[in-house]
Structure 1
C-alpha cells in the first residue's frame, strides 16, 4: 500500500511494527496498553512522522535517543466517552434532554415497526460470501449517497486496499462490520476498527431510500449499545465536525502531528527543522480555511445541471373519493419500480404501516402511482 493510501487512524497505526518498536505503551483515560517488544528491522531509521494522533493519547517511548516534536493540527475529532457502568439508556440520559432522547429512540422504534429489522456485528467471524456481499453493498451505498450530494467521497481511493485486507482484519479481531438489515437486505453498514477498548467507526453509509428513518442515528445508537455490552469505553467517530457527530459526542479533542528524530544526528535535525516548518505552514493555512476552497470549487462544477422530473405528492384518507378503477396493482419490489422505493419508505414512516402491508397501484392512463396503506394512501405523479 503506498503512502497516500495508508489508513490514517490510530487503531491501524498503533498496531504497526514501527509503532511497536518505538513505543513501550499508550495511555488514555486512565487505561494503559503495553506493546510487546518485537524483533523488527527498521533499517536504522532516524525519522518518523505520524499525523492525526488524538491528543488524549500519551505515547511512551522505548528509545530515549529519539526526540519528539508535537505539532497541534487544525483538525478536531469527535467521540463518545462511556463510563464502565453505562448502558445506552444511561448515556442518552446524560447526553440529551428528553425531547432529543425521544427523537432518537423514535427513529429506532419506527424502523423496527415498519420493517423486519436485524442488527449484526461481524467481529472475529464472517464468511467470505457474506463479506463480499456486504462490502459491495457498502460501496454501492457510498456511490449513490455521494452522487445525490454531488460530492466525491474522500476515502474511495483506498477502496481496493480495504476490500483486499478487511476480511483478514475482521477474522483477527482488528476490524468489524456492523450491519442493519431489512430482512436480508443491508440498509446501513459501518466498517469499524478496534483498539483495546475503543471502537472506531471508520467508514459508513446507508441506503438513501431509507433517509427518513435516520439510519445514521440508529447506527450510532446500536453501536454504543454494543460498546456498553462489551466493555468498550470509547466510540470514536474521528475527524470532522459533521452535525450528527456534534450532537452525539461528549469528547471533542484536537489532533496532533507527532515527529520523532534522533537527537544525535545533526544532518537529520536540519531536515527535520525544514519539515516542521512545512507542517506549521500547512496548519496555519488550514486555520485560515484555505484547504476548503478547492473542494467548494470542485463541488460547484460537479453540480447536476440536468433537468429532473417534478414529483407531485398528494395524501388522502381511505374514505376519500378516488377513482381506483383506473389503477392496476404492481409488484413494487420489482427492479422495474425501484425508483418508487424512497417514496414508499417515506410514506410508511409517516403512516407507521409495516412494509408488508403496502400495496402499490399504477395509473393505467398516465405516469402516476398510488401507495396504499391500512388507513391512508398517497398519489405520486411524475411530471416532465
Structure 2
C-alpha cells in the first residue's frame, strides 16, 4: 500500500508531528490537551502553508508560534457525536437522551441478543494477540462486503483496507486505536474499528453480520461503547461525518467541520489554496460531489440485479407437518440460507439458540423452539 494512503479522521490528525509543531494545546469541552514540543524541523519559509481538514468546530487550536496565523473555512460537512457528562453512566445517559418508549426499544435489542445467544463483548485496546487481530479484521471485512452487497452499494472505505490491515495492529498496541467486538460464542457478529484521542472515542469503521439484522446490532454496538466510554471517563463517542438516521437518533452533539489553514504571510500559494477549498465546499453545498458516486452505484446495482435472488416462504405452524422431516446436525449440515431465518425466529420467540431443533425435507425446513414451530421453504 502506498504511503499516500491517509485515514482522514481527527484522532489520527491530532497526533501528527505537524500538529505538535504548530499547536501548543488543543481545547474541547473544558478539557485541554498540551502538545509536547517536537524536534522535527518544518519549513520556515515566509510562504509556508499547512492545511488540516475535518477539524470539529468544538476544537480550539492554540498556535505555538506568534508569527503564525490561521484561516478557518467552514466545510459543508456535519459531524455527529454523543457528549457525556464526566459522572455519566450508561443508564443516566439513556434516561437523559431518550423518552421511556425509545429507551425501551433500544435496550430491548441488548436484552434480546443476550437472551438468544451466548454473547460476549470485548474491547481490544492496548493488547491483542496477532492471530485474534487477523481473525477479527477478516470478519469485519467479510461483514462489510456482505452487508453492502445486500444493499447493492459500494463501501467508501474499502479502498483503504490493505492500509488498515497493515497498520491497525500497532495502533491498537500503542493505544491509538481499538477493536470493539460482539461475539456469539467464538463468532464475531459485530466489529467496530475505533481511534482514540484523549477522552474521545471515534468509531471509524464498523459492520455486523447481516444474519443478525433483526437484533439491531448497530444500536447494541453504540450502547455498549457508550457504556465503555462512561466507565473509562471518556466524554465523547464520535460517529463522524454523515447524517444517517441512527446517528441522528443517538447524537446530542451535532456540529460542523472546519478546514484550518496555518501560514506565516500572505502569498499566492495561500490565496490559491483558499479559493480551491472554498470552491470545493461550494460544489459540495450544491451536491455536485454526489453525482459520480450515484452514477457508479447505479451501474453497480444494475449488474448485481442480474443475479437471481433466493425466494423464501415462511409459515407459522403448530407441529411437524409430516414424517418426511429429518432432524439435522445444525453445525455440520445447516443450509447457510437458513441462518437469518433461524435468528429472526429466535428474536421473535425469545428462545435461546441451544433450545431449537432444525428439521429438513427437500427444500423446506422446520425450526422448532420450546413451544413454537416455523416452516421455511426455499424456491430455487
TM over 0.5: yes
* Aligned counterpart, 1:251: 253
Call closer, same or farther: CA 1:335–1:360 in 2, change over 3 Å: closer
1:104 equivalent in structure 2:
106
Secondary structure of 1:73's match? strand
Pairwise CA distance, 1:65: 2.0
Rounded Cα–Cα distance in structure 2 between residues aligned with 1:48 and 1:281:
18
Cα deviations by residue, 1:10-32 (Å, 9 ceiling, x for unpaired): 11010011111111000000110
Q: How far apart are residue 126 of structure 1 and its match?
A: 0.8
Instruction: Find the counterpart in structure 1 of residue 93 from structure 2.
Output: 91
Match of 1:308 in 2: 309
Q: Runs of 5+ in structure 2 lacking a partner?
A: none
| Correspondence for 1:381 | 377
CA distance in 2, matches of 1:335, 1:381: 17
Match of 1:371 in 2: 367
1:229-273 per-position Cα deviation (integer Å, ceiling 9, x unaligned): 01100000000001100000000000001111221xx5xx11211
Q: 2:326 aligns with which of 328, 338, 343?
A: 328
Q: After superposition, where does 1:27-176 map in structure 2 within 5 Å?
A: 27-44=27-44, 46-176=48-178
Is the 2:11–2:195 contact (alpha carbons within 8 Å) kept by the matching residues of 1? yes
CA distance in 2, matches of 1:148, 1:376: 29
Paired with 2:356 and 2:375, the residues of 1 have a C-alpha distance of 13
How far apart are the structure 2 equivalents of 1:4 and 1:345?
Answer: 42
Cα distance in 1, alignment partners of residues 143 and 44 from structure 2: 44
Deviation at 1:298, TM superposition (A): 1.6
C-alpha separation in 2, matches of 1:361 and 1:114: 20
Equivalent residue number for residue 317 of structure 1 = 318
TM-score by length of 2: 0.96
1:60-99 CA-to-partner distances (Å, cap 9, x unmatched) read 1112222211110000000000001111111111111111
Per the normalisation by structure 1, the TM-score is: 0.95
Structure 1 residue runs of 5 or longer lacking an equivalent are none
Q: 2:243 aligns with which of 241, 244, 254?
A: 241
SS in 2 for 1:324: coil
- What RMSD in Å do the two structures reach over aligned CA positions? 1.4
Stretch moving more, 57-66 or 231-240: 57-66
Matches within 5 A, 1:185-264: 185-263=187-265
> Aligned to 1:357, which of 345, 355, 358?
355
> Which one of 289, 292, 297 corresponds to residue 299 of structure 1?
297
Q: How does 1:172-187 map to 2 (within 5 A)?
A: 172-187=174-189
Q: In the alignment, which residue of structure 2 is the partner of 1:25?
A: 25
Whole-angstrom CA distance in 1 between matches of 2:308 and 2:128: 44
Query: Displaced runs of 4+ in structure 1, greater than 6 A?
Result: none
